[in-house]
Amino acid sequence: MIVGLDMGGTNIDAIVLDQGQIIKTVKKPTDRENLFQSIWAVLEELLVGIDKRKISRINLSTTVSTNAIVEKKADPVGMIVQRGPGLPYEFQSCTGEKVFISGYIDHRGQVVKDLDLREIKKAKDLFKEKHIKACAVVTKFSARNPSHEQRIKKLLDKEFPLTTMGHTLSGKLNFPRRVYTAYLNAAVSNTFQNFAGSLKKSLARAGIQAPVYILKADGGTMNLATAHEKPVETILSGPAASLLGLIGMCPTEQDALLLDIGGTTTDIFFLADGVPVFEPLGIEISGYKTLVRAIYSVSIGLGGDSRIRVDNGTIQIGPQREGPPYAFGGPTPTPTDGLIVSGLMKANGETLAKARQGMEVLGRQLGLSPEGMADKVLNAMGDMLKNKVESLLQELNEKPVYTIEELLYGKRIRPQVIHVIGGPAKAVAPLLSRKFNLPCHCPANYQVANAIGAALARITTEITLLADTARGFLSVPELGIYEKIGRSFTLEQAREKALK
Amino acid sequence: MRTIKAKNKLGLVFFPAFDWAIHPTHSEREERLLYTQDQVFEEGIEDIAGIRFYNPVMATEKDVSRVHFCVPDVPSRLTQSHLVAAGGAIVALQKVMEKEVDKAFALVRPPGHHAQRIVHGSRGFCTINTEAIMLEKIRQMYGPLRVAIVDTDCHHGDGTQDIYWNDPDTLFISIHQDGRTLYPGSGFVEEFGGPGAYGYNINIPLPPETGDEGYLYVIDNLVLPILAEYKPDLIINSAGQDNHYSDPLTRMNFTAQGYAKLNDKLNPHVAVLEGGYSIEGGLPYVNVGIILALAGLDYSHVVEPDYREERFRQPKEITEYIARLCEVIYTYWKERDRLKEEHYKGLDHFERTRRVYYDTDGILENQAERFKICPHCSGVNTIDSRSDQGAQILAVIIPRDACPDCVDEGYKVYREATSRYSKIYLQDRVNDCFLAK
């Protein structure tokens, strides 16, 4: 049996799966003031009557780190940064203490200028004086040669055991993003460790011995020990859970458009030959651009409960939500009211009358009957989605390429099918099918897609292998591998080595 | 502020063509822009607000024929990479013309500035002229434009000189290491333009070991004053990066700071990468410097890790030589109308013969050119070209500004040309029509 739990901003969804069958589900609101208690309450309820020894793993998607960053409750960080030649980045949005040091490692990973140890000592004294707890050290091109980061960490270790090194988080080249990623990792590490500590204790007390995995934004999981070192990877894993659920419920090997239509927003995802499309570099959170690998997802302010207004003869849907749909006592007409009036969503007589009333108010401004207005609203909603999806696809398909082969024959994403989940999913499926001129499927059990996604997630890891045969050197920064190779090292050998 | 914002919106066509080389050990090979890419990525350029990356498109056969006479034809002289490089430059300038960006930089390869009108093969790693194909396509799309091309490659831009030799609407300025000391051995002050555009081809041959000081002196005291008087609608920079002190093929002492300042001062609408083969110690820093300068960002910290100021102090006699050179050239520029009179007065046509060597392919070509001196336009002209590989061709060029008489004459020459040529070409730039028989 697998336990999957997805903690969102509003609700926590949890599920027990056995051989692909849903055994039990629980849904509870999230208490933002006590995230751990929220999760624990759901788990306790979920596991009543379940044989705990049969649980093979527990997968959690948690907003603990995300919240600390978004609500600016993260810890101040002592940063040591080696910028080298280039832009004089100040990294002002990293709160805490920043020390810029001399020395430089170039693009081939060669040390051009060594560290000045006096500068490190000074930084350490400053951090102690300012009562800094977590530190991060990032040097330019550390993915190519981490020796400066490693030496500095050693010098800090005794006083600052929670020191993040930039190269351990990603092997991609992007110095500012590496700095922000390392900063965020250090800034949430205390918060995450507290959470993980409470979780372990509670699980032990409840006699649950199953291993716990934490969901990442790339749709994979990591064990608690890895999460301890890389808590930043737990941010924004919610959309990944929904996407995984969708893939689990309707697998495909085609290019596909995946939509999760909620009350306030719609999340848009794409599959290329059945595989999720990823962010090219990493996810952005609260304005910090990071190297945290993530599934590509775009959220737009258009959902079943979005406010509808008529402005100078044109319909505006969203981006705000002002309450439930008019039919259910909300303040403004919404797309859900349109779906009810057009008969796409079933409702009792009283609700239908309210929905009609909402459409009538809007329709009066355009000289339309309630039914005519409902049609117009749904059309507008379909057009908005279609336009957004098309512009995203154009952007994705125009992403820079660097070889003639890719330029002429490279993969372009062209969805052949739509999969949609969310409250209004079933009702809007025919509309989407018509607008996009594609088959549109809406899986059963879509209400718990996110929890199913969390349950189905598997361990993933990303590595970057660079073989420089001229220098006779191979590196995998994420695993701390830096070793000698011969001049005849081939791409085939590199592949084999990477898969090991 | 979490993201740095560029003062100028900058478009980058960054296309290293990692799957193309002239041959595996040639300077113009797959990894040429690899380390530049590492530096650009590590610097976080792609996250700077206001800097946008664009993919190239393929230039068409017609785009090539608008500029060149490929012998025997376009497909047999080119590989896809040439069309991608030219197409990349076209995209870059198009984004500027459409005002999507303020400036653009096309980092494409192979280079093109040694490619002349007639193309029997490759010269100086170049087969077709990237900037000329870009510019002529843009003129075709957006109408007449007065343009200055400033070639800052260390080698003389002899291809671009040939293409715009007789075109008064395209001022060509080439700054390079003196032709007595470097390939292609041309680019002297006396090469001042054809009878239709005398004074609009300016060569500035600099002595070996010229550094930032001398180079920037030329920009401040010669190039910028001439540009101010010429008042171009567009400035194009043929951005060769082989003046760098670490370049293996040349002997200049220019630095990344120098290149950045040069672009800051010149302020081109579009820069197109030409040569530059110090791929590890030079290009990564030079390119980041140029990108930041074009975007209006602080480039003052872009310094090569092995740069030592005292190593590159310019000798006094070079400084003095450059000052005198600038004065001579500026006087020529001021006197260009009078000098034209002296050269061409009373003539109705002008003829010259030249030899062109294609070093990359080992072909020798003999050309006989004939320019009509026309009071109404820059004049129809022809090239009779014979290569040592056996081909003899005739090329007839009707310039963009041709008067009706010159258009008629061009077609007449094309029609009546005798069969001793293996191929005869007509380039009618007035009607954008290109024939061959």
Spatial separation of the C-alpha atoms in residues A83 and A166, rounded to whole Å? 13
DSSP assigned state of A233 = G
- Residue A88 contacts by C-beta under 8 Å, 6 or more apart in sequence? B298, B300, B301
Residue A145, SS3 per DSSP: coil
Residue A238's pLDDT is: 85
- CA angle in degrees (0–180, nearest 5) for A145-A152-B298: 70
Q: Cβ contact (<8 Å) for A400 and B55?
A: yes
pLDDT tens string A64-108:
899 889 888 899 999 999 999 999 999 999 999 999 999 999 999
DSSP assigned state of B222 = I
Section B44-53 average pLDDT: 95
Residue B309's pLDDT is: 84
Most B CBs within 10 A among A102, A107, A111, hence the mutation to make, goes to A107
Q: Which residues of A touch B14 (CB under 8 A)?
A: 400, 402
pLDDT tens string B320-345:
999 999 999 999 999 999 999 999 98
Count of alpha carbons within 13 angstroms of residue B32, beta-carbon side: 30
CB neighbours (10 Å) of residue A326? 25
Name the stretches of chain A with pLDDT < 70.
none
Exposure pattern of B241-268 as b/e (b: 16+ CB <10 Å)? Answer: bbbbbbbeebbbbbbbbbbbbbbbebbb
Q: Cβ contact (<8 Å) for A402 and B84?
A: no
Residue A115, SS3 per DSSP: coil
* Residues 257-286 in A contacting B (C-alpha not used; CB under 8 Å): 281
Closest CB to B17 among A93, A289, A403: A403
Q: Which residues of A touch B20 (CB under 8 A)?
A: 404
DSSP lists the bridge partners of residue B13 as: B54, B106
Spatial separation of the C-alpha atoms in residues A180 and A138, rounded to whole Å? 10
Rounded to the nearest angstrom, the minimum Cα separation between B41 and chain A is: 5
- CA angle in degrees (0–180, nearest 5) for B126-B128-B129: 95
Phi, psi torsion values for A86, nearest 5 degrees:
140, -155
| Crossing angle of the two packed helices B34-42 and B283-295, in degrees rounded to 10 | 50
Section B25-49 average pLDDT: 92
| Crossing angle of the two packed helices A238-249 and A449-456, in degrees rounded to 10 | 90
Section B311-317 average pLDDT: 89
Q: Cβ contact (<8 Å) for B80 and A106?
A: no
Closest CA to B67 of B204, B170, B202, B153: B170
Residue A284: its H or E element: strand A284-285
DSSP assigned state of A9 = S
Section B28-42 average pLDDT: 92
Choose the CATH number for A77-191 among 3.40.50, 3.30.70, 1.10.287, 2.40.128.
Answer: 3.40.50
Q: Cβ contact (<8 Å) for B2 and A85?
A: no
CB neighbours (10 Å) of residue A370? 21
Rounded to the nearest angstrom, the minimum Cα separation between B149 and chain A is: 27
Percent of chain A with pLDDT over 70: 100
Residue B426, SS3 per DSSP: strand
**B22: pLDDT confidence band, cut at 50, 70 and 90?**
confident
pLDDT tens string A348-377:
989 999 999 999 999 999 999 999 999 999
Q: Which residues of B touch A401 (CB under 8 A)?
A: 55
Residue B29, SS3 per DSSP: coil
- Residue A489 contacts by C-beta under 8 Å, 6 or more apart in sequence? A467, A469, A474
Q: Cβ contact (<8 Å) for A404 and B81?
A: yes
Q: Which residues of A touch B303 (CB under 8 A)?
A: 85
Q: Cβ contact (<8 Å) for B305 and A113?
A: yes
Q: Quick check: B257 contacting A, CB < 8 Å? A: no
Residue A379's pLDDT is: 94
Phi, psi torsion values for B263, nearest 5 degrees:
-70, -35
Q: Which residue from B minimizes the CA distance to A401?
A: B55
* Residues 276-295 in B contacting A (C-alpha not used; CB under 8 Å): 280, 284-285, 288, 292
Q: Which residues of B touch A176 (CB under 8 A)?
A: 44, 47
With beta carbons less than 8 A apart as the criterion, state whether A397 and A391 touch. no
Residue A182's pLDDT is: 98
Residue A372's pLDDT is: 95
Q: Quick check: A85 contacting B, CB < 8 Å? A: yes
Spatial separation of the C-alpha atoms in residues B4 and B10, rounded to whole Å? 13
With beta carbons less than 8 A apart as the criterion, state whether A15 and A3 touch. yes
* Residues 133-152 in A contacting B (C-alpha not used; CB under 8 Å): 140-141
DSSP assigned state of B161 = H
Q: Which residues of A touch B109 (CB under 8 A)?
A: none
* Residues 143-202 in B contacting A (C-alpha not used; CB under 8 Å): none
Q: Quick check: B42 contacting A, CB < 8 Å? A: yes
Secondary structure E strands in B85-183: 103-108, 118-119, 147-151, 170-177
Residue B3's pLDDT is: 65
Spatial separation of the C-alpha atoms in residues A59 and B204, rounded to whole Å? 70
Phi, psi torsion values for A261, nearest 5 degrees:
-95, 115
Spatial separation of the C-alpha atoms in residues A491 and A474, rounded to whole Å? 12
Spatial separation of the C-alpha atoms in residues A469 and A105, rounded to whole Å? 18
Closest CB to B17 among A86, A106, A404: A404
Spatial separation of the C-alpha atoms in residues A368 and A105, rounded to whole Å? 68
Closest CB to A173 among B42, B80, B84: B42
Place of tokens 């009211």: A337
User: Do A77-191 and A252-442 have matching folds?
Assistant: no
Token readout for B408 is: 């008629």
pLDDT over 80 at B424, yes or no: yes
pLDDT over 60 at B2, yes or no: no
pLDDT over 90 at B30, yes or no: no
Residue B1's pLDDT is: 42
Q: Cβ contact (<8 Å) for B44 and A85?
A: no
| Crossing angle of the two packed helices B130-142 and B80-97, in degrees rounded to 10 | 40
Could you state, in order of their start, the residue ranges of all structural domains in chain A?
A: 77-191, 252-442, 466-499
pLDDT tens string A185-218:
999 999 999 999 999 999 998 889 999 999 999 9
Residue B18, SS3 per DSSP: coil
CB pairs under 8 A between A and B: 99
Most B CBs within 10 A among A178, A288, A404, hence the mutation to make, goes to A404
Closest CA to B261 of B232, B207, B287, B299: B299
Q: Cβ contact (<8 Å) for A87 and B304?
A: no
Rounded to the nearest angstrom, the minimum Cα separation between A3 and chain B is: 39
Closest CB to A88 among B18, B20, B298: B298
Give the domains, in start order, of chain B with CATH numbers.
Answer: 5-336 (3.40.800.20), 347-436 (no CATH)
Spatial separation of the C-alpha atoms in residues B410 and B394, rounded to whole Å? 12
Distances (CA, A) of A58 to A15, A16, A27: 10, 9, 16
Q: Cβ contact (<8 Å) for B42 and A141?
A: yes
Q: Cβ contact (<8 Å) for B42 and A403?
A: no
Q: What is chain B's mean pLDDT, rounded? A: 95
Residue A7's pLDDT is: 87
Rounded to the nearest angstrom, the minimum Cα separation between B36 and chain A is: 9
With beta carbons less than 8 A apart as the criterion, state whether B282 and B244 touch. yes
Q: Virtual CA dihedral for A224, A177, B3, B273, nearest 10 degrees? A: -160
Spatial separation of the C-alpha atoms in residues A203 and A206, rounded to whole Å? 5
Residue A491, SS3 per DSSP: helix
B23 given a catalytic annotation: no
CB neighbours (10 Å) of residue A56? 10
Closest CA to B231 of B333, B166, B146: B146
Q: Cβ contact (<8 Å) for A174 and B297?
A: no
With beta carbons less than 8 A apart as the criterion, state whether B214 and B318 touch. yes
Q: Which residue from B minimizes the CA distance to A172?
A: B42
Q: Quick check: A211 contacting B, CB < 8 Å? A: no
Spatial separation of the C-alpha atoms in residues A434 and A468, rounded to whole Å? 52
Residue A68, SS3 per DSSP: helix
- Please write down the long-range contacts of B410-419, taking CB distance under 8 Å and 24 or more positions apart: B410/B380, B413/B380, B413/B382
Catalytic residue among B82, B113, B114, B244: B114
Residue A498's pLDDT is: 79
- Domain A252-442 in CATH 3.40.50.620? The answer is no
Q: Quick check: A408 contacting B, CB < 8 Å? A: yes
Q: Quick check: B14 contacting A, CB < 8 Å? A: yes
Spatial separation of the C-alpha atoms in residues A461 and A293, rounded to whole Å? 10
Q: Which residues of A touch B297 (CB under 8 A)?
A: 87
Q: Which residues of B touch A182 (CB under 8 A)?
A: none
Closest CA to A10 of A89, A63, A49, A50: A63
DSSP lists the bridge partners of residue A484 as: A473
- CA angle in degrees (0–180, nearest 5) for B105-B108-B109: 150
Can you tell me the ipTM of this complex? 0.91
Rounded to the nearest angstrom, the minimum Cα separation between B34 and chain A is: 10
Question: For the whole prediction, is pTM greater than 0.90?
Answer: yes
Closest CB to A175 among B43, B55, B306: B43
Q: Which residues of A touch B85 (CB under 8 A)?
A: none
